[in-house]
Amino acid sequence: MPLFDPSTKPRRRSGGSFSALVTPVFLLFVILFTALLLPSCDGKKSNPTSAWPYPPPEICPAEQWDEDTSGWYAYTHDCDPYQGEHFTVYSDGSSDQAMEQLAGLAEEKFDHLVPEFLVEDIAGELEFTEGYTYYIYADQNHDPIQGMAYRNGFFIGAIDCATVPNYYTRDPWWYGCIIQHELTHVFQFTLTGCPSNAACPEWLGVWFREGQAVYMSGGGPGIRVTSLDEFHQWWEDENHVNPIAIHRWTDFPDPDRGGEYYPMFGLAYAYLIDRAQGHGAGMADMRNLFQLMKEGQGFFEAFEQALGMSVAEYQENFYTMMETYLSQAGQPSSRSLEEKMAFWGTNDDYRTGGEG
């Protein structure tokens, strides 16, 4: 009998569980093998329609569900995905109804972000070739992941997640924000021309890519720093450093408190695109930044050319800029700073194999 027998695939049940048919030794092998196969950001990733996450029926459910995962997680899916217009939802046991509902939410967020990013040609700009979709892995039974994006899709806790916390039942509004946040990262990957994650490539600075995703998530002022009092309160914590200094995941002084930076990242991006009282950039400038990177420039060079200010200048003057900005444009929020930071959890919710 082969190590994996497709005939042993469990029957789908609404809200049921899926037991992975993986031995520990094989699981470790697949994790390492996947990591070795992962292409770097310098190479062109093959069209996902010709590889995972579309595993041939004869190997289901034995093989890994997706090669984008950088080898960090060796999840298998149950070979019964839900196919939508722009998304295919895979899971380890989420019900058909829950996967269809998740795909519908993702389509709503996709339709919102397309004009926000000034995308006029979905097929051309977002590379939706025939048969291609973004993927979603709806995590039903594993250690729940709040959100983690990759080049062609994202992980998220299933709507009918059997583990705790269930992000959807806890707060459906926040669940929608997570989807839009992660989908923003997928757009970033595509529009900058980065073909894969490569486990934290030399790419957009963490503060920028997370700041844009916070701002674009649909959460509004309730999930980012919006007042001078909040700014001072955050800055006075001796364990915090200048948020613009967080260029890579390793730059967080305390990885367990990485989520505390997200409201400040959101402020940093909000200032850049505030045309009335901030730096005055617009999405056209951001798309120019992305295009420059797609043509081969690094983030620092592209940022300065597109926005007319260097990252170093922004970092050096950030405190003064934000004091002036929030003195003029600051607004109170119904949520406290503690609540805003708690929304984003810790870096454990944003696995370093992808983008949180």
- Alpha-carbon gap, residue 18 to 64, rounded angstroms: 15
Comparing CA positions, the residue from 200, 184, 194 lying closest to residue 127 is 194
Residues 36 and 132 in one domain: yes
Among candidate residues 150, 165, 192, the one where a domain is terminated: 192
Residues 180 and 108 in one domain: yes
Among candidate residues 192, 217, 251, the one where a domain is terminated: 192
Burial 29-48 (b: 16+ CB within 10 A, else e): ebbeebeeebbebeeebeeb
Q: Count of CB atoms within 10 A of residue 198's CB?
A: 18
Residues 138 and 260 in one domain: no
Residues 175 and 218 in one domain: no
Identify whether 68 is part of a domain. Answer: yes
Residues 114 and 237 in one domain: no
Residues 157 and 34 in one domain: yes
Identify whether 125 is part of a domain. Answer: yes
Comparing CA positions, the residue from 242, 217, 248 lying closest to residue 322 is 242
**What range does the domain containing 313 cover?**
206-349
Residues 215 and 184 in one domain: no
Residues 186 and 273 in one domain: no
Residues 138 and 225 in one domain: no
- Alpha-carbon gap, residue 335 to 244, rounded angstroms: 24
Residues 287 and 253 in one domain: yes
Identify whether 2 is part of a domain. Answer: no
Identify whether 8 is part of a domain. Answer: no
Please report, for the domain that includes residue 82, its CATH number. Answer: 3.40.30
pTM above 0.85, yes or no: no
Q: What are phi and psi of 141, to 5 degrees?
A: -125, -10
Among candidate residues 151, 169, 192, the one where a domain is terminated: 192
Up-side HSE of residue 156: CA atoms within 13 Å toward CB? 27
Residues 65 and 101 in one domain: yes
Residues 214 and 343 in one domain: yes
Query: What are the pLDDT tens digits along the chain (356 aa)?
Result: 322 222 222 223 333 333 333 333 333 333 333 333 333 333 322 333 333 344 444 444 333 444 444 444 556 677 788 999 999 998 888 999 999 999 999 999 999 999 999 999 999 999 888 888 898 988 887 665 678 888 888 889 899 987 766 778 778 898 999 999 999 999 999 999 886 655 344 579 999 999 999 999 988 888 999 999 999 999 999 999 999 999 998 999 998 899 999 999 999 999 999 999 999 999 999 999 999 999 989 999 999 999 999 999 999 999 999 999 999 998 888 889 998 898 887 443 433 345 66
Burial zone of 331 (CB within 10 Å; 0-12 exposed, 13-18 middle, 19+ buried)? exposed
